[in-house]
Structure 1
Amino acid sequence: MRPPPAECVVNPRLRLVPAALAVWAVALSGLLGNWPIAVLTGAFACLVGALAVHRDWCARSCALALVVAAPIAAVSIGFRIHQSAAHPARSAAVQAEAVVIRAELSTRPRGVRTEGFAAKPGGVEAVVVQADIHWLLVAGRTHDQRGEVVLVAPAKAWRDLLPGQQVTARGVLAPARQGELTVAVLRVRGPPQDVTRAPVWQRAAEVLRSGLREASTTLDPEPAGLLPALVVGDTAELSPRVVEEFRTAGLAHVLAVSGANLAILCGAVLLLLRVFRVGPRGCAAGAAVALVGFVILAGPEPSVLRAAVMGAVALLALVLGRERSALPALAASVIVLVLYDPALGTDPGFALSVVATAALVLFAPRWAASLRDRGVPIGLAEALAVPVAASLATAPLVVGISGRISLVAVLANMLVAPVVAPATVLGVLAAVVAPVHGGAARLLVELAGPEAGWLITVGRRASEVPNASVRWPSGWLGGLLLAVVLLLAYGLFKARRTRTLLAAVLVGAVVVLVPTSVVTPGWPPDNWSVVACDVGQGDAVVLATAEPGRAVLVDTGPDPGPVASCLRRLGIRRVPLLVLSHLHADHIGGLAAVLADRSVGAVAIGPSHEPNWAWEEVRRQTRAAGVDLVELTAGRRLEWPGLTLEVLGPKGRTAPVGDDNTAINDSSLVLRAHTAAGRVLLTGDIELEGQADLLGGHVDVSAEVLKVPHHGSRFSAPEFLAQVKPRIALVSVGEGNRYGHPNGTVLDALTRGGALVLRTDRDGDTAVLGGETGPRVVRRKK
């Protein structure tokens, strides 16, 4: 008689993992495909679980969890996806129908920067908010089918709304992105109508959040914007420069509410309760109160909710006395969250959160223990193991999303780790105290100020490291490729025979790459005269003087980060003159960064002071920096050692009034620089009329180097280009921009005229140097 097969022994910590993966797979397959695929995926997972029970392939509890979870996910998620696919708003969105909807807001309005030359740099002109449809009026017919919709609305009228408020909105529908449960995007026209009052807890939370924002104004602008973002995810006042630097440094997660915030807050509460000798159940109850309060304070955002569910499961484990149940808590949170909101199945933030937490549970403790066994102090061992484990585990996902690998992320996270917790706790306390005593709240903010300042310093210095991030293939392929590389490296490191070889390869790579990429990177080239900075869809041109570290800057691009990075790479410390060709956002967006980081002699503008908001912003920033604001007119001549500037235009034009974008473009300052590389014509964004004014005024516009007008738009006259007759044409343009810049016809005309055309979207920063036979170029490839 055959003995019964022995049951497979599975680590109890892993028994919910297959069920969690099955639920996640059902959501992922359904969102990327359709509801039948979701049902089939769930049915297949259930079949695997049933076979596992029958054949004793694994522990019965593990298989039963799969058998139970998979069909529930197939039915629940499949039904949700089917409902979303059949919603009448989807077909109306394809036809771009004008509709009226009644909806309840499910998130706080989040400010977004609108693209374009007239958009305010760093300012918020529109908000995005998620809502649940109650009814929809389209083509004279009312539909009461529920569904999720994204509203893109004017900031002025919508920014102060709160979750739970019902509104009526009018606008035009547009299709939602693939892989979401959202049925459509509504581009709202006008203010909300028939607005109901927000729930009392939402109003109370907003009072606390606004109190924190108000108290934070006692700090300098950048820390004042960072602290609310760090504490409750409020990014309304956050500097775009800080955002860009944190992304490069691998610190972007600090700006979003996550499980780390809850862990810090609940940990502080638990520590306080244990000081007063409160038992495990009392500690869990106190932490639960703190958890719920923080969710209300931060708002019901997806990242907050997923962190809260994880925290709730962990607290339940604490009550039951199972302190080593972090991995089951993670698996249970995945099941609960994905069943509640299947859209998380394709949410990159959710995937990053799960993978990072799994790495901290599975790898960080072992690596910390291994370091302790080798004599590393306990605190330092954990400080090393935690960021390394999280960074390596999430690297394939980050690369798949961004197409870049941060080489400074681990070190940057180690440096900021000691200050995140105190800054978070002090910020929460300031928010709670602010409605009662503003002075006490400001004092708490002042105590959190050095921590916020340190975060900004680390992010800035890390992002300034040469080659702080490197390009890598993006998407699924890039992520899988990096995962294979990391697994291969880990396998080689674990094997004793190949560990020495791997270490030698790494040391060799450092020895070769550091001198060539960091110590002597080959940029900037010697004796450069002009550099067109890669600042995206905007302009920033640097003109060298004969004095090292001094250069004239013409325009600052749309954002602070790129122009600051370009000047840093060039070694520019002093800017005797900063010229703003005109006041559109893609030319003035980086002004604050230049004024803050460089010694600026004066800021010069042309005759146009429009749009008015931009003029007021330039006046405010220059006044705050103590820098003179001067006006240049045609005929002026300015000289520095090795550089002369002629102001050629605008010629014969009156300053525009109002927000006529074409008139503002045609009023751009037109400069001709005399450099060691020859004459350089800087044209701002002048279009056909501005070019005709110059030619009609018999202005000599000939030059060896041309900064092509208006990012290479189609509004460049062939006769104007023929009069310039450049040998080198620089096009400052953003990659994948929505304007179709640069225009192919214009590029062809330049090429036929004998010009070498260079584009910042493809060539990166581009330097022009003097040569024996004329100007030559050196490109800093992206």
Structure 2
Amino acid sequence: MTGSRSDLRVVPAALAVWAAAAALSHAAPPWAFGAALSGAVVLALGWRRPVLAFPAAALVVVAVTCGWRVTAVEASPVTALAERGTTVRAEVQVRQDGRVYRAPSGPGTVVPVMVRVVEARGRTWEVRVRATAFVEGSQSLVTGTRLAVRAELAPADGRDEAAVLRVREWRSVGSGPWWWRWSEVVRDGVRDGVDHRDDQAAALVPALVAGDETGLSDRTREEFAATGLTHLLAVSGANLTIVLGIVLLGLKAVGASRRVVLAAGALTVVAFVLVARPEPSVLRAAVMGSVALAGLLVGRTGAGLRALAWSVIALVVLDPWLATSAGFVLSVCATAGIIALAPPLARRLRWLPGPLATAVAVPIAAHLACLPVVTSLSGEVSLVAVFANVVVAPAVAPATVAGLVAGLLDLVWAPVASVPGTVAWGAASVIVAVARVGASVPGASVAWPWPWWTLLPLVPALGVALWWLVRRPALTVGVTLGLLVAIVRTPTPGWPPRDVVVVACDVGQGDGFVVPTGPGEAIVVDVGQEPGPIDRCLTELGVERIPLLVLTHGDADHVEGWRGAVRGREVEVLADGPSGGPGVPAARRVRLLSGSTLQVGDVRLEVLWPRTDAERVPPEARNDVSVVLRATVRGHRVLFTGDLGEEAQRGLGRLHPDLAADVLKVAHHGSADQWPGLVERVAPTVALIGVGADNPHGHPTGAALDELASHGVSVWRTDTSGTVAVVDRNGRLVVSAR
């Protein structure tokens, strides 16, 4: 027992080092490095007890690493050039595969790079600093590739990077070391092993085997997020365990010596990192595997928590900026939950068959451990995550193993690779189907209205309640079935209300409005930034068809949630303004300008703004070319003002003397950039403000609220009232919120 307790002292040391790395790498002022270093040295020298000396020594190393990295970045000529916005020629090496992103202006590729050489103003510097490069278009840039670029520099967001590169021109000048070329050949083999199938299941196999998500659609990613299956897309310890298991068990089966088994295991870990790329979760899995192999080498089996703690210490010492990386945090939390909670929970479920008890305990433990982190990232709590993970668990290993075999066979004899490739595709099809079905149910996830840290005390309480519940089989089954019913058919008494004029959907910090036009159909004006909230709102309102989708302007908080709006729904007409928007699938697309009118069912729409039809609108001018609509619904007028600023509102007033409406959608989430005369000209009874709770912009401002109050307008905000419906009751407007 004494040895066990002594071995576990590395756990608090890992927590201390992790916290120190998070603070020093992101928030601490420069003098904090010296203070942390001095304090740790004093502690290490002043106390002889290993339980204090060991964490102190680790803190010293973290402080030195942080200080050295920050100093190197601040002293780099690249940092100075970035502060001046200089255009340079440079030679860079890709650190991680480029990731394609979609913006209203078109696709682009973001690439983490290492700057090697930079040339500007007749001078050349040889450097070695990290940076992030943005390249126009969907470019296939793989790890290790060397590029010659002409780029405009801008200051970096993080303290560990010297600059952001806006790449104007680039060309490849080398493919990098042989090991990166070899790893790309293997990744190509995995892709080719399933290329005889052209669907999302085939695209999932490379993601499971090597973390290659390039073939996955945005819809699939969203479905995996909604069902708590995103961890399958990020290579983790489970993937490494499967691959190591194949290698080690195979060698043991043929009688290989212990030394050969260990050497093969070490080579497998290295190959795993090369093929899956050095992402935070991959590095954590690799370090943990290395620690386990070291334990085998010295003849002792290390405990799971101790191995995890050592991996955390090693990684944050090597790269303190991993400490706050979302992938790293999720990976560590999930692993810790599985190690610490899953075995006792499985024993508690002994009334179930052994394999089933483990299959249930593992996702519950991982979900509980990751709940605060996932909520901080998404603002939602997934209710189907545990169910989805239990169902897909039997399919993950076959998909991974068969996909790897298909990839390796493709390198030797490509025609045969399709056989295991089909097996991998079949298993992956199960996973994709579970994600699709799980994401489609009304109660797949719920928005968490409070800060994420409020879950920290709640999670242990949930754990205690679960611990008590699972010992009572009948009650456990009853609660589980009740939860399933609530998820599949979310109870919404009194919702949607009858005779709706307009609904302000709670989409967080953004706009999403719905005007019903008939049974199962509605006009949608803007869709928020995330797909989940607008999808839930439309589902709760029973909207199955969108005859008209209006995107008032191209800012992300108005357009990026479009995938949620079109999920399972047909869009007949997509309408936008001069600032454009994403390529939403629709039967046809129209451009809206002042003077246009539209009729959808009994709803009449007047386009009051903008007047310009410019081909290109710079991002800073998008607000003022927002589409302004006035809809007449059930005899009531609703004025949608987008994000129009004060000067544009004055222009709207000059162009249209009559702006009267019963309901006013307050412009720009109630910012201070308002024309005081607009409320007087509109004279609304109800004002709706689409705004997110605790948003960093201070919306809605006191000035905007005071102006509305001074005119006796009833103000309803989505941050305090949730989704708000304005309803006609015998010719009078009333408001219903939920």
Q: TM-score, normalised by structure 1?
A: 0.76
Distance 1:662 1:86 in 2: 34
Distance 1:703 1:688 in 2: 19
CA contact (8 A) 2:148 2:171 kept: yes
Residue by residue over 1:549-608, the C-alpha shift from the partner in whole angstroms, topping out at 9 and shown as x without a partner, is: 2323334444443322221122222334444456666555444554450244x21436x5
Residue number in structure 2 paired with 1:204: 182
Residue number in structure 2 paired with 1:674: 632
Residue by residue over 1:191-220, the C-alpha shift from the partner in whole angstroms, topping out at 9 and shown as x without a partner, is: 468955411221233344456567777666
Deviation at 1:384, TM superposition (A): 1.6
CA gap of 1:415–1:187, structure 2 versus 1, over 3 A, is same
Deviation at 1:108, TM superposition (A): 1.0
Candidates 1, 4, 8, aligned match of 1:17: 8
Residue by residue over 1:144-197, the C-alpha shift from the partner in whole angstroms, topping out at 9 and shown as x without a partner, is: 786x533243354976152374767765453654xx7x1544354544689554
Candidates 68, 74, 80, aligned match of 1:89: 74
Q: Structure 2 matches for 1:454-465, cutoff 5 A?
A: 454-463=430-439, 464-465=441-442
Candidates 207, 227, 231, aligned match of 1:249: 227
Q: Which moved more, 1:436-445 or 1:416-425?
A: 436-445
Residue number in structure 1 paired with 2:131: 150
Candidates 599, 614, 630, aligned match of 1:638: 599
Q: State the secondary structure of the residue aligned to 1:388.
A: helix
Residue number in structure 2 paired with 1:385: 361
CA gap of 1:520–1:445, structure 2 versus 1, over 3 A, is same
CA contact (8 A) 1:399 1:472 kept: no
Q: Which moved more, 1:435-444 or 1:654-663?
A: 435-444
Distance 2:207 2:687 in 1: 42
Structure ranking higher in strand proportion: 2
Candidates 732, 736, 740, aligned match of 2:690: 732
CA gap of 1:395–1:104, structure 2 versus 1, over 3 A, is same
CA gap of 1:237–1:531, structure 2 versus 1, over 3 A, is farther
Q: State the secondary structure of the residue aligned to 1:87.
A: helix
Candidates 318, 325, 329, aligned match of 2:307: 329
Q: Structure 2 matches for 1:3-14, cutoff 5 A?
A: 9-12=1-4, 14=5
CA contact (8 A) 1:537 1:733 kept: yes
Residue by residue over 1:96-138, the C-alpha shift from the partner in whole angstroms, topping out at 9 and shown as x without a partner, is: 34566978647314437587xx455xx4x3515153x667889
Residue by residue over 1:405-434, the C-alpha shift from the partner in whole angstroms, topping out at 9 and shown as x without a partner, is: 544332222122122222333443454456
CA gap of 1:485–1:698, structure 2 versus 1, over 3 A, is closer
Distance 2:192 2:723 in 1: 40
Report whether the alignment pairs 1:541 with 2:519: no
Residue number in structure 2 paired with 1:570: 541
CA contact (8 A) 1:672 1:679 kept: yes
CA contact (8 A) 1:41 1:74 kept: no
Candidates 430, 435, 445, aligned match of 1:468: 445
CA contact (8 A) 1:16 1:332 kept: no
Residue number in structure 1 paired with 2:272: 294
Q: Structure 2 matches for 1:57-72, cutoff 5 A?
A: 69-70=54-55, 72=57
Residue number in structure 2 paired with 1:770: 728
Distance 1:559 1:609 in 2: 23
CA contact (8 A) 2:626 2:644 kept: yes
**Structure 2 residues not aligned, in runs of 5+:** none
Deviation at 1:309, TM superposition (A): 1.8
CA gap of 1:107–1:778, structure 2 versus 1, over 3 A, is farther
Distance 1:347 1:260 in 2: 19
Distance 1:706 1:589 in 2: 23
CA contact (8 A) 1:676 1:769 kept: no
Q: Structure 2 matches for 1:597-612, cutoff 5 A?
A: 597-600=568-571, 602-605=572-575, 611=580
Q: Structure 2 matches for 1:716-727, cutoff 5 A?
A: 717-727=675-685
Candidates 374, 388, 391, aligned match of 1:412: 388
Residue number in structure 2 paired with 1:57: none
Q: Structure 2 matches for 1:291-690, cutoff 5 A?
A: 291-318=269-296, 322=300, 325-347=303-325, 349-372=327-350, 374=351, 376-395=352-371, 398=374, 405-432=381-408, 447-463=423-439, 464-466=441-443, 468-469=445-446, 471=448, 474=451, 478=454, 480-482=456-458, 485=461, 489=465, 518-520=490-492, 522-536=494-508, 538-547=510-519, 549-581=520-552, 587-600=558-571, 602-605=572-575, 611=580, 614=581, 617-618=583-584, 621-622=585-586, 627-629=587-589, 634=595, 636-640=597-601, 643-649=602-608, 653=611, 655-659=613-617, 670-676=628-634, 678-684=636-642
Distance 1:510 1:48 in 2: 58
Q: State the secondary structure of the residue aligned to 2:2.
A: coil
Distance 1:349 1:15 in 2: 30
Deviation at 1:394, TM superposition (A): 3.9
Q: State the secondary structure of the residue aligned to 2:496.
A: coil
The RMSD of aligned alpha carbons is 4.8
Deviation at 1:707, TM superposition (A): 2.6
CA gap of 1:51–1:555, structure 2 versus 1, over 3 A, is closer
Q: State the secondary structure of the residue aligned to 2:729.
A: coil
* Counterpart residue identity of residue 96, structure 2: R
CA contact (8 A) 1:384 1:414 kept: yes
CA contact (8 A) 1:30 1:38 kept: no
Distance 1:103 1:84 in 2: 21
Residue number in structure 2 paired with 1:59: none
Q: TM-score, normalised by structure 2?
A: 0.80
Q: State the secondary structure of the residue aligned to 1:300.
A: coil
Deviation at 1:307, TM superposition (A): 0.9
Distance 2:198 2:693 in 1: 33
Deviation at 1:259, TM superposition (A): 0.9
Q: State the secondary structure of the residue aligned to 1:519.
A: coil
Deviation at 1:380, TM superposition (A): 0.7
Residue by residue over 1:59-113, the C-alpha shift from the partner in whole angstroms, topping out at 9 and shown as x without a partner, is: xxxx6xx75x556535533322332343361798699345669786473144375
Candidates 117, 131, 144, aligned match of 1:163: 144
Q: State the secondary structure of the residue aligned to 2:83.
A: coil
CA contact (8 A) 2:398 2:423 kept: no
Q: Which moved more, 1:209-218 or 1:295-304?
A: 209-218
Residue number in structure 2 paired with 1:263: 241
Residue number in structure 1 paired with 2:110: 127
Report whether the alignment pairs 1:107 with 2:95: yes
Q: Which moved more, 1:201-210 or 1:654-663?
A: 654-663
Deviation at 1:383, TM superposition (A): 0.6
Deviation at 1:635, TM superposition (A): 5.6
Distance 2:239 2:507 in 1: 34
Q: Which moved more, 1:213-222 or 1:520-529?
A: 213-222
Residue number in structure 2 paired with 1:50: 48
Residue by residue over 1:612-646, the C-alpha shift from the partner in whole angstroms, topping out at 9 and shown as x without a partner, is: xx58x34xx33xxxx35567784645253xx3223
